[in-house]
């Protein structure tokens, strides 16, 4: 991996292998992204998804996003419109959660029974390396914190109970801390303003012919 010394790279590879094994065994893992640390599990396994909700203490009415290493892998589980696909090609990988129609193969628990799911393809080589190891299985993409607590930007900030409950932790050092922008390109809606928000607003305004609507998702 670029940007890391050889010893640290070896440690990361070992941690990634352990995390991939944990995901395949239905466990949860903590992994870095270009925004904050994420809490991952097999997004197609209802029991694994349930563990994510339990670990975070998250309300089951609030959906989780899914992470994938590429747009083509994400399309195995989603049905993006042409505009959404164009948006994904323009902004992914990147600190953006793209809300699109999902395939029925995803569990209702993940999407809180909704017809759409958020897709994350992080611009972070360690996160992508983990996703590639378990592909084509998508990984839950939600912050590695107890619901209501601040997002985690480095492993030392992990809640002790959360740390003890996960099957593996991939520590790649501090993360920037800016949340992803959550956007539905087809509906021209931004649910959370975060990283790259100005560029996203400009793209949507140009494509849709009007500025996007901001809603608290």
CB contact at 8 A, 167 and 22:
yes
Q: What is the DSSP string of 35-68?
A: SS-EEE-BTT-HHHHHHHHHHHT--TTS--EEE-
According to the model, what pLDDT value does residue 139 have?
98
| pLDDT surpassing 70 at residue 198 | yes
CA 172, CA 101: separation in Å to the nearest integer? 32
What pLDDT, in 10s, does the model give residues 118-169? 999 999 999 999 999 999 999 999 999 999 999 999 999 999 999 999 999 9
According to the model, what pLDDT value does residue 10 have?
87
Closest residue by Cα to residue 110 from 130, 135, 137, 136: 137
- Mean of the pLDDT values across residues 8-23? 93
Q: What is the DSSP string of 158-203?
A: S-HHHHHH-SEE--------PPPEEEETTTTEEEE--TTHHHHHHH
What pLDDT, in 10s, does the model give residues 34-86? 999 999 999 999 999 999 999 999 999 999 999 999 999 999 999 999 999 99
According to the model, what pLDDT value does residue 2 have?
61
According to the model, what pLDDT value does residue 9 have?
83
CB contact at 8 A, 48 and 42:
yes
According to the model, what pLDDT value does residue 1 have?
64
Q: Give the number of other CB atoms < 10 A from CB of residue 170.
A: 25
According to the model, what pLDDT value does residue 216 have?
78
According to the model, what pLDDT value does residue 4 have?
64
User: How far does CA 19 lie from the centroid of its chain?
Assistant: 15
Q: Percentage of the chain surpassing pLDDT 70?
A: 96
- Adjacent-strand bridge partners of 213: 189
pTM, whole model, 2 decimals?
0.94
CA distances from 157 to 30, 127, 130, 144, 206 (A): 12, 19, 21, 10, 40
CB contact at 8 A, 52 and 58:
yes
């Amino acid at each position: 991996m670029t940007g890391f010394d050889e010893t640290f790279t070896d440690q990361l590879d070992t941690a990634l292998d352990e995390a991939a094994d944990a995901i395949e065994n239905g466990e949860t893992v903590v992994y870095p992204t270009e925004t904050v640390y994420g809490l991952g599990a097999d997004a197609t396994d209802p029991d694994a998804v349930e563990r994510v909700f339990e670990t975070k203490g998250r309300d089951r009415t609030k959906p989780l996003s899914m992470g994938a290493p590429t747009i083509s892998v994400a399309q195995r589980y989603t049905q993006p419109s042409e505009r959404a696909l164009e948006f994904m090609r323009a902004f992914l990988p990147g600190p953006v959660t793209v809300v699109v129609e999902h395939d029925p193969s995803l569990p209702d628990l993940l999407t809180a029974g909704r017809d759409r799911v958020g897709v994350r393809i992080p611009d972070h080589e360690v996160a992508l390396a983990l996703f590639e190891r378990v592909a084509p299985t998508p990984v839950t993409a939600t912050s590695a914190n107890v619901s209501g607590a601040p997002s985690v930007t480095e492993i030392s900030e992990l809640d002790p109970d959360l740390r003890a409950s996960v099957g593996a932790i991939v520590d790649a050092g501090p993360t920037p801390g800016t949340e992803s922008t959550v956007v539905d390109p087809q509906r021209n809606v931004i649910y959370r303003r975060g990283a790259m928000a100005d560029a996203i607003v400009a793209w949507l305004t140009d494509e849709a012919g009007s500025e996007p609507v901001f809603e608290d998702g």
